[in-house]
Structure 1
């Protein structure tokens, strides 16, 4: 690809290995189901969804120079993603993610993003002193950033003048990594996309509703926060006020990637000039289609 990307997606790109069953599961259960292996990772999930909306995303991530990395590169290029700026490591393997989903939701998941963390700032070279940005000409476009980067690197990005002019859209990747986004909360940088549990961890509190959580995030310094709560009320909060909507009721067949789909759809809607209310509705409708299985993985 030679055209400039519409948006940069920075963070994890890996292989998702997901086992799904229509049965309710408990710890230690052994049930029949289906196991799939598909491209995944927060940044890549966002990029793939943006691509379906006609945008040209570029990935900044780390992949190994192994068979898994080569295959993932080919898959992504076939999907129309710009992989020109991906860091390829000679000594780090391509990362992976494993999840088990039952009729009662996500049972367990393990994200092995150690190579991304080990690569560190090397994935940002095209932005720091390369084709996408330099100290005298920082990047000014949109960036979708995920919390799979190390806490130190995320803190650096939150303070760096090289990212000061970018439209940052930030997701924590998982509740276990939510507190890594604290520097963006303190610094009032970017738009945060979190679920109710992640909002509670960032605020060191517990919330019953998304509007309550979103309002508190703004009170604590967030420039803007979108908080989801499964099938319950979702909220978009900023200094301009709160907008809340309830997602459509659907039969849930998969949950992995739902938050990434929501975030990407919201970004795509706002890029088209939709209002806050319409963008939120579009994101909720798209995420509902994802979890119901209407959008193929």
Structure 2
């Protein structure tokens, strides 16, 4: 089959350089259904199915980064089926895709989202059994991919043991690591030892699910981020509802950033992935945490005004233009080195 041949070819190719970003996690097929009128439970709802597209947090982040002219690879699991071939073919334009070896006849993951007329998510289903087939030894076969990366993005689609292995490896090798949640239930797959996690991104519900506490105000949210710091996370970013970003660092700095209202929201699917990609771009370019979040918000603004999970309009030029439009300033660049920021020289 084509996927097996693709895997063989990948093994023969040279490993990525330190300039590359490595995304590890989900790659699946996205199907979106738009409900017409008011959604009603326990009865049939009229709706229309939109065109299927590639999905998965890690895969979507990788494509966004590829569109932002970054060198990026994706380590993921897809089935040896038509859906897997579709994902490989659509993804290779923007990244190097390295499929993990999967035992048996596991099917490619499928995510189905039910949206209202405004493009807001009502409910979603996720058929992701394929990721349960991946074990830590499979990841360890790809250690050079991780250790030679400039930065690693890890989502929470894999098992707790796999996630813990990757976090531990990045910590030991001092590889900058961004961890992105996928859902409240999968947030609980994170280990209790989070040493090595440079940036953790989740929403308020996911933070509550992992920590087992209730967060109802800003003070409780700040206390929650301190718990994450105690567990080893250097920087915590919490998305509050749909309008605010809260960030806190181990050095004691923290703050809120409001999401700018978008005139016409077409589809919010992929907004989280776009935020992560914009944020990673800000990190590797050496921007401070507030500006890192602002780049994420700028990337979201470009995404939710289209009906695509990953907007085909995203580019570096448009990202910087959107940043300036939203914040009215040019971002101040710094150099990020061994966990510290240093002001960059004027050029």
TM over 0.5: yes
1:125-164 superposed matches below 5 A: 125-128=140-143, 131-132=144-145, 138-139=147-148, 141-160=150-169, 164=173
Moved more, 282-291 or 85-94: 85-94
Change (3 A) 1:253 1:208: farther
Mapped partners of 2:295, 2:38: distance in 1 = 30
Whether the 8 Å contact between 1:200 and 1:213 is mirrored in structure 2 is no
Secondary structure of the residue aligned to 2:261 is coil
Look up the match of 1:91: 105
From 29, 46, 61, give the equivalent of 2:76. 61
Q: Determine the structure 2 residue equivalent to 1:6.
A: 20
1:158 Cα offset (Å):
3.1
The correspondence for 1:38, drawn from 53, 56, 62, is 53
Q: Distance in 1 between matches of 2:63 and 2:165?
A: 27
- 1:242 is displaced (CA, Å) by 0.2
Select which of 200, 223, 231 maps to 2:242: 231
- Measure the CA separation in 2 of the matches of 1:226 and 1:142: 17
CA–CA distance in structure 1, aligned partners of residues 171 and 237 of structure 2: 25
Contact kept, 8 Å, 2:27 with 2:109, in 1: the verdict is yes
Instruction: Tell whether the 8 Å contact from 2:63 to 2:95 is kept in structure 1 after alignment.
Output: yes
Counterpart secondary structure, 1:249: coil
Equivalent position to 1:111, from 112, 118, 126: 126
Can you give the 5+ residue segments of structure 1 that lack an aligned partner in the other structure? none
Which residue of 2 is the match for residue 218 of structure 1? 226
Contact 1:231-1:246 within 8 A present in 2 as well: no
Q: Which runs of 5+ in 2 are unaligned?
A: 1-12, 313-347
Deviation at 1:11, TM superposition (A): 0.7
Q: 1:122 to 1:99 in 2, by over 3 A?
A: farther
Determine if contact 2:134/2:162 at 8 Å carries over to the other structure. no
User: CA–CA distance in 2 between the matches of 1:281 and 1:75?
Assistant: 29
The one of 289, 292, 301 equivalent to 1:288 is 301
- For residue 178 of structure 2, what is the aligned residue in structure 1? 169
Equivalent pair of 2:239/2:245 in contact (CA under 8 Å):
yes
Contact 2:278 2:298 in 1 (8 A): no
How high is the TM-score relative to the length of structure 1?
0.86
Residue in 2 that maps onto 1:47: 62
User: TM-score, normalization: structure 2?
Assistant: 0.75
Cα deviations across residues 162-199 of structure 1 (Å, max 9, x unaligned)?
Answer: 754111100121112111124354x4633110011111
Instruction: Please give the alpha-carbon distance, in whole angstroms, between the structure 2 residues aligned to 1:61 and 1:293.
Output: 26
After TM superposition, give the deviation of residue 291 of structure 1 in Å: 2.2
Q: How big is the shift at 1:289?
A: 2.8
Q: Mark the CA change 1:80 to 1:183 in structure 2 (over 3 Å): closer, same or farther.
A: same
Is the CA contact 1:199–1:213 (under 8 Å) kept in the aligned structure 2? no
Equivalent position to 1:190, from 183, 198, 202: 198
Deviates more, 1:266-275 or 1:8-17: 266-275
